[in-house]
Structure 1
Amino acid sequence: LARGIQHTTVRQAHRKYEPNFHDKYGNLVLLGGAAVFTAVWGYVFTQAGIEWGLSPVGRVTPKEWRE
Structure 2
Amino acid sequence: MYRFARAVANVTGKAVQQVRHGSTVPQDFHSKYGNTVLIGGAVFCTAVWAYVVTSTGIVWNMSPVGRVMPKEWREPEE
Q: Which of these two proteins has the greater Rg computed from alpha carbons?
A: 2
- Say yes or no: does 1:55 pair with 2:62: yes
Partner of 1:46: 54
**What TM-score do you get using the length of structure 1 for normalisation?**
0.52
Unmatched segments (≥5 aa) in structure 1: 1-10, 62-67
Aligned length: 65
Regions of 4+ moved over 3 Å: 11-19
Q: 1:30 aligns with which of 38, 42, 51?
A: 38
1:36 and 1:56 map into 2 onto residues whose CA distance is 31
Change (3 A) 1:40 1:18: farther
Unmatched segments (≥5 aa) in structure 2: 1-13, 70-78
**What TM-score do you get using the length of structure 2 for normalisation?**
0.48
Change (3 A) 1:50 1:18: farther
Q: Which has the higher contact order (CA 8 A, sep 6+)?
A: 1
2:15 and 2:40 map into 1 onto residues whose CA distance is 34
